[in-house]
């Protein structure tokens, strides 16, 4: 079980570097829509973390069938990590988004530490 949860921990590896600088607001609506898309991605990532926490709680309470939900969560997390890494490389995360990402990673780290 710990191995399954540990494989999602790779998410935190891309935030360890220097903070990402947000795009200049002179890019207009594309930055706004990009920001919205990244906010949606962070929302989805948080939802994935919350669902993983629920699965872990169910497994800890003896429901081994809950493990069947993990492959879908793993695939979803992998796709989100790829998009977030790309956003980091393109320096398209705002300061608020970086802070939120840090909070989500801390939440996930707590899950792994249990």
Tens digit of each residue's pLDDT (9 = 90 or more) over 46-74: 999 899 889 989 999 999 999 999 889 98
Tens digit of each residue's pLDDT (9 = 90 or more) over 3-56: 344 344 344 444 433 233 333 333 333 445 678 889 999 999 999 989 988 998
Distance between CA 27 and CA 48 in Å, rounded?
31
Integer-rounded Cα Rg, in Å, for the chain is: 15
């Amino acid at each position: 079980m710990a191995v399954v949860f540990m494989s999602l921990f790779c998410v935190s590896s891309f935030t360890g570097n220097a903070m990402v600088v947000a795009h200049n607001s002179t890019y207009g609506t594309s930055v706004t829509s990009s920001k919205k898309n990244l906010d949606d991605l962070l929302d989805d990532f948080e939802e994935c973390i919350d669902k993983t926490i629920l699965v872990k709680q169910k497994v800890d309470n003896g429901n081994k069938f809950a493990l069947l939900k993990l492959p879908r969560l793993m695939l979803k997390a992998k796709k989100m990590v790829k998009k977030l890494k790309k956003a980091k490389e393109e320096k398209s995360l705002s300061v608020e988004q970086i802070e939120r990402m840090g909070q989500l990673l801390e939440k996930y780290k707590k899950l792994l530490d249990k």
